[in-house]
Amino acid sequence: MKKELKIYLFIIFFSTLIIMINLARTYIIDFPIYKLMFFILAMIVVRNMSMLFNSISNVITSMNLPVLLTAIVYLNPFWIGIVSAFGTIEFKFRNSSFVWYKFLFNRCVFFLSGGLAGLTFIYSRNMFGTEGFPFFPLLIAAATHFVVDNLLVYIVLRIAEEDTNNTSLFIYFQELSKNLVTSYFLGLILLVSYQYFGYVFFVLVIVLLFIIKDFFYSRIQQLNSYTQIIESFLKVIDSKDHYTEGHCQRVAYYTYHLAKKLGLSRGKTEKIVNVAKIHDIGKIYVDDSILKSSDKLSDKEYEEIKRHSEYGYELLKDIDILKDELKVIMHHHEKWDGYGYPDGLKEEEIPIGARILNVTDSFDVMTTGRKYKPALNKNETIQELKDCSGTQFDPEIASKMIELIEGGFFDNSFESEELVNEYEFSIEY
């Protein structure tokens, strides 16, 4: 152990002992045993439930401070420090290696942060008055606990050189500040449940919060998996057909702006955009000689390439996370007049996402061209959209796309004009 670390730990241990003695001299005689035991037990359960859930989801979360905020209202600073110190003990049964000075350091940090939070609550409540619900005193107490706890931990990490990224103190607190806001409002919920409904309801609210948290983080993991699947399929498509590499990404970019222009909800837009990224996934089943042919396709070859939408649907239909929007892939070559494929759907029989994708997919072909067809300029593209409105394209969607083009949204897409940037984009929700 480094000499600096030994000195720091000694200062923490000695300071905690002095503060504990002084608080005890004032507050130890007030010994609310039932409340004390309840809050210690609640903290222990919450602390170790967090470990259980984190081991499953790999998401770090904590409910310590929300529970402690209720204790701050009903206990004095000395006993708050005791609740904080002993209620945060973790029970590790796997790969556990007990290090006495780490254990003692953590207990001291929690006692200091809890006890000082209790003191600031008393002083701020006396300053601002005791009438009404203590919103502001609790906020000051929560901020005190947050600063003391994280500052002492930050210092020990820097001394021990466990913070290998050399994170500045400002960035360190900035990254953790969201936890303070969340903990404060959860603490208010728990306080109200305890104050008006008692112990049982307090416990039920904690259980409910864990269920909500678990659902929320499961949803995040599901979305992350969804994104990874989409990106993996996108790489497969690009590796299969180098000539159209980047096509799906550009189509997704156009689709995002067009869906937004049409006023679709954020959730609906997100689903359609993600499907747009892989709308040509079925082409992995189409022979390379057909995909890369520079000659006009024969009828047989054309019929084969037309099947890529069905191939894509069949490939993805068993993936539950994708199934809601798979009809967009199946029908993105249907036409408004009913002469598209594979099913000859017409007008509003065609899913809205497929109608949007029909326009944006065609727009990318118009602006990038193919070996057998040169790219169109801006005016030619607008005219093409007008000519095909009501036959290939949904008239309303084509009209909105023309408005976007005329408004300059996609000026960087025309080869006849200066490229402003690459075909990369970020969807902000």
Each of the 429 residues of the chain gets a pLDDT tens digit; together they read: 788 888 999 999 999 999 999 999 988 888 888 889 999 998 888 877 655 544 444 433 467 888 899 999 999 999 999 999 998 887 765 555 778 888 899 999 999 999 999 999 999 988 877 667 888 899 999 999 999 988 898 888 888 775 545 667 777 677 677 778 888 888 888 888 888 888 888 888 887 877 676 666 555 555 555 566 666 666 666 665 555 567 888 898 999 999 999 999 888 888 888 888 888 888 777 776 776 666 677 778 778 878 888 888 887 777 766 666 788 889 999 999 999 988 899 999 999 999 999 999 999 888 887 666 788 888 999 999 999 999 999 999 999 999 999 888 888 877 533 333 333 444 433
The predicted structure's pLDDT at residue 297: 72
When computed from its CA atoms, the radius of gyration of the chain, rounded to whole angstroms, is 31
Output phi, psi for 373, to 5 deg: -150, 115
> How many other C-beta atoms are found inside a 10 Å radius of the C-beta of residue 260?
15
Q: Return the sign of the alpha-carbon dihedral for residues 310, 313, 315, 318.
A: negative
Distance CA 318, CA 257 (A): 29
Q: Which residues pair with 389 in a beta bridge?
A: 393
According to the model, what pLDDT value does residue 238 have?
A: 60
The identity of residue 395, as a single letter, is P
pLDDT at 422: 39
Structural domains in the chain plus CATH codes: 3-211 (no CATH), 241-413 (1.10.3210.10)
Q: What is the pTM of this model?
A: 0.52
pLDDT at 376: 87
Per-residue pLDDT at 301: 77
Neighbour-count burial of 416, counting CB atoms closer than 10 A to its CB (0-12 exposed, 13-18 middle, 19+ buried): exposed
Kindly report the length of the chain: 429
Report the pLDDT value the prediction gives residue 235, as an integer from 0 to 100.
64
- Nearest in space to 237 (alpha carbons), one of 276, 180, 197: 276
Biggest alpha carbon distance in the chain?
A: 95
Q: 12, 152 in Cβ contact below 8 A?
A: yes
Strand partners, 373: 370
DSSP-derived letter for residue 378 is H
What does the alpha-carbon distance between residue 30 and residue 380 come to, in Å, rounded to a whole number? 85
Structure tokens at 424: 């990369």
